[in-house]
Amino acid sequence: MRTLELRDGVVRMIDQRKLPQELVYVEIRDYQTIARSIKEMWVRGAPAIGAAGAFGLALAAQASQATSADAFIAELTRVGGELYETRPTAVNLGWAINRILKKVHGANLPVRELRELVIAEAQAIAEEDVALNQRMAGFGASLINDGDTILHHCNTGPLATVDVGTALGCIIEAHQQGKKIHVLVDETRPRLQGARLTAWELMQYGVPMTLIADNAAGHYLYRGIATKVFYGADRVAANGDVANKIGSYKLAVVAHENNVPVYSVMPTSTIDMSLASGSEIPIEERGEEEVTTIEGVRFAPLGVMVGNPAFDVTPHKYLTAIVTERGIVYPPFKENLLRIMDSAEG
Ligand code: MRU
C-alpha cells in the first residue's frame, strides 16, 4: 500500500484527513490540486510532500501545451515555484522540485522527451524513497533493544513517506525483527498526527503501544519508563539542528535532562547543508482554527489571539544520533554530516 502513487497519468493518494475513520484514496489529475493537497495536508510528512511535489510536476508536464523546449522549461519552473510555496519547512519539497528541474535544464531534448524525463524522474524519486526508507529502518532498528519503551512524536510512519516511514519505520522494523518493544505515542497537538495516524499505523502492524497526551511525556521520561525517544525531521541544518513537528524540542530537552537518548531519523534529502544552523530554518505558521477547534468544534473564545507554529528546532546538543539511509551519524554532527553528505549514495 503506497501513500501516493502516479499510475496511468493519475496521482492516487490517501486522504490523510479522513484517517483513522476512513481509508479513502483521492485521484488527482492536475498540479493545482496537488498544491492544494499539500497545503491542506491531505498528504503530509516531509518525504511524502517531496513525492507529491514531484508528481505535481509530472502532471504539469503531461498537461503542458508548450511547443518548444524553452517554453516547456519556463512553464515547469513556474509550476515548481507554485508547488514550492505550499509548505515552507520540509526541505524535501524543494529538493524534489529542484532535482527534476535540474534534470530538465541540463537535458537538451525536444518537448516530448522532456515530458517523459519529468515523469520518469518523479517516479524515480518515489521508488527511491521506499528503498532508502527500508535501508534506514535497518540502521534505526539496530539502536532499539529488547525491552525498550520508545517515545514517539508526530507521524513518521509509512503515511509520512511513499511507504515504510522514517522513525516509525525503524520502530516497526524492530518489532518485525522480534524485539519486545512498547511505543508511547504522543497525540501531537494541534493536528493530532500521533493520535490519528501513528496509533492507527502501529495497530495495523500489531506493535504494542499506548497513546498519551503530549503533556504526559515528561512524566514517562522522569519515571524512567521511556527508554528512548524517536522522531523524524522536516529539515536538518548543517550543524545538526533539527526542525521537526512542534513539541519535538521540548521532548528532547526533557529526555536529555533525564539521560534518555534522542534519535532523529530522516533521509539525506531532508538535510539542508546550505543552512548553517537551525535558526535559519523557515517555520511554517498555520491557521488559528487548528488550535481553537478539534474536529470542527470550537472550544476557545471567539476573538482570542492564536500562535500556531507547525515546527520547532531541536538544537543538536540534545540529539544522541541522526539516522539516515547512509548510516547513523553521531556527534560532532557538523563534521560527520559533511562526511556523510559527501559520500556516494548507498
Ligand atoms: O505537519 P506534518 O504532519 O507534515 O509534519 C510531519 C512531521 O513533522 C514529521 O515528523 C516529519 O515530516 C518527519 S517524518 C517523515
Note down pLDDT in tens along the chain; length 346 residues. Answer: 899 999 999 999 999 999 999 999 999 999 999 999 999 999 999 999 999 999 999 999 999 999 999 999 999 999 999 999 999 999 999 999 999 999 999 999 999 999 999 999 999 999 999 999 999 999 999 999 999 999 999 999 999 999 999 999 999 999 999 999 999 999 999 999 999 999 999 999 999 999 999 999 999 999 999 999 999 999 999 999 999 999 999 999 999 999 999 999 999 999 999 999 999 999 999 999 999 999 889 999 999 999 999 999 999 999 999 999 999 999 999 999 999 999 864 4
Domain 138-345 CATH class label:
alpha beta
Q: What does the radius of gyration of the chain's CA atoms come to, in whole angstroms? A: 20
From the CA of 156, how far away is ligand 1's center (Å)? 6
Ligand 1 lined by 154 (C-beta under 6 Å): yes
Catalytic residue numbers, as ranges: 234
Q: Can you give the residue ranges of every domain in the chain?
A: 4-134, 138-345
Q: 4-134 is classed in which CATH architecture?
A: Up-down Bundle (1.20)
Give the model's pLDDT for residue 346. Answer: 40
For ligand 1, what atom is nearest to the CA of residue 90? 12
For ligand 1, what atom is nearest to the CA of residue 311? 8
Ligand 1 lined by 166 (C-beta under 6 Å): yes
pTM for the whole thing? 0.97
Ligand 1 lined by 140 (C-beta under 6 Å): no
Phi, psi of 302 (to 5 degrees): -60, 140
34 and 28 Cβ atoms separated by less than 8 Å:
yes
Gap between the Cα atoms of 182 and 314, Å rounded? 24
From the CA of 310, how far away is ligand 1's center (Å)? 9
Q: Which three cell numbers stand for residue 209?
A: 503501544
From the CA of 267, how far away is ligand 1's center (Å)? 13
Name residue 263's beta-bridge partners. 230, 321
From the CA of 50, how far away is ligand 1's center (Å)? 12
Q: What is the dihedral sign for C-alpha 247, 250, 254, 256?
A: positive
Give the model's pLDDT for residue 344. Answer: 61
Ligand 1 lined by 232 (C-beta under 6 Å): yes
- Residue to mutate (ligand 1; options 155, 189, 248, 284; most atoms within 8 A of CB): 155
Ligand 1 lined by 286 (C-beta under 6 Å): no
